[in-house]
Every structure is written in structure tokens, then in C-alpha cells.
Amino acid sequence: MKLYDSAMAPNPRRVRVFLAEKGISVPTIQVDIGKAENRQPAYLAKNPMGGVPILELDDGTVIAETVAICRYFEEIQPKPPLMGTDARDRAIVEMWQRRMELEVAMPIMQTFRNTHAFFKGRIPQVPEYGEVCRAAATRRLEWVDGELAQREFIAGPRFTIADITLLIGIDFGRVVKIGIQPEQKNLARWYETVSSRPSAKA
Ligand SMILES: N[C@@H](CCC(=O)N[C@@H](CS)C(=O)NCC(=O)O)C(=O)O
């Protein structure tokens, strides 16, 4: 199998961290999104959406979407569990994973897409919308700080995919100057814990 990866991009890093937590090694192919390699016909034939990462299995099956790729690895190697352990826990982890992705990481990415020079001329940018997303991301980090007063990790007492999604969202937030505020002590404590894990370097 092959992982189509892009070293600087946040979604591929989510998969790399997930794999590092599982201790799984997968050969990678670097896709240069700066040169729009992911928008060329050969790549679009594999993933019509054009995004990285994708996972290509030995039988030619292509799995796109970060969480779908993680799901594949969770199924073939359940330990350590990163997506829940039983029906209740899996639902709780999925709830938090979706919230971290849709409510926190997404507005950070949309701030980047709509305000940063990288996407100028590549996509239609609406800077005002970018600022709406910046305000939303900032509010959501306040909310997550409150949630983390109640438990060690995002979805409960164990590190999960929800922590990976938030870690990478926050790290990427630096590019657009969105981040943990000095008064957000719970978030800072959580960030220190998760960013110290060896997988965070992946
Ligand atoms: N929903 C997809 C999003 C993939 C995505 O947008 N990846 C970004 C990198 S983080 C990308 O390919 N950006 C370059 C582009 O859209 O041309 C996922 O979860 O994997």
C-alpha cells in the first residue's frame, strides 16, 4: 500500500500521527500541493476531490478522506484503540472527533483558505468570511478549554483520534495566528501532554 502524503499539510499529518500511535509504517509518496500536483489528471483520477492524503491499497483501491483512512487502519489493527472500544465509547469518540474537525479545525482551515496568500489565485477567496471563521475558531477554543476542565483528553480518559484532530488544527492555526490564549489553562495543559507524545513529530 502507499500513502499519498504532503509534508506541510495538516490532513496528511493527522494520518501520520495516527499511524505513529499504532506503530504502523506505510511507504509514502510526496504530493507537492504548492505545485498543484494534486490537481493534475493523474491524481484526480485517484481522488476526484483532489485532496491529500489518499491511501492506495495493493489491489488498487483508493481510500480518500482522512478519517476513512484512519478507520481502515483501526479495523486492520485495533490496538491501541484510537476510535473507541465498544458501542458507547465509539460513539463518544466519533462525536468528539466530528466536533474537533467540523467546529474547530474547519474554521481554522477556512480562515487560512480565505485570507492567506497561499490560496490567492488558486481558489475564490472571501476575506470577510475568513474573519468570520477566525472569530468562530477563537470562540470554539474557549469552549474546548472549558470541556478540558472535566477530563484529561478530548473524548475521555484515553488519547483518541479526536485529540489528533485538535492537535493538528491548533498547530496549523499558527499560520493564521489562531492559538491557545494565556488564560486557557486546561487547553494549555492538554496541548503540553499531547504534543509531547512521540507521535506528534510525525
Ligand atoms: N476532507 C479531506 C480534505 C483533504 C484536504 O483538503 N487536504 C488539503 C491538505 S490539508 C489539500 O489537499 N489541499 C490542497 C488543495 O486543496 O488543493 C480529508 O479529510 O482528507
Ligand 1 atom with least separation from CA of 31: 12
Share of the chain above pLDDT 90, in %: 96
- CB–CB of 55/62 below 8 Å? yes
pLDDT at position 188 over 90: yes
Rounded mean pLDDT, 100-106: 98
pLDDT at position 122 over 90: no
Ligand 1 atom with least separation from CA of 101: 19
Ligand 1 atom with least separation from CA of 67: 19
The rounded distance, in Å, linking the Cα atoms of 176 and 178 is 6
Mean pLDDT of the chain: 97
φ/ψ of residue 10, rounded to 5: -70, -40
Q: What is the pTM of this model?
A: 0.97
Rounded mean pLDDT, 86-105: 98
Residue spans of alpha helices (H) in the chain: 10-22, 41-46, 66-76, 87-98, 106-115, 127-147, 161-173, 185-195
Say how many Å lie between the CA of residue 53 and the centre of ligand 1. Answer: 7
Closest CA to 178 of 125, 113, 119, 107: 107
Closest CA to 160 of 55, 27, 71: 71
Closest CA to 1 of 23, 28, 21: 28
pLDDT at position 119 over 90: no
Closest CA to 157 of 72, 85, 73, 78: 85
Take atom 1 of ligand 1 and give the residue whose Cα is closest.
65
Residue spans of alpha helices (H) in 23-65: 41-46
- Provide the pLDDT for residue 177: 97
Please calculate the CA angle 189-193-197 and round it to the nearest 5 degrees: 165
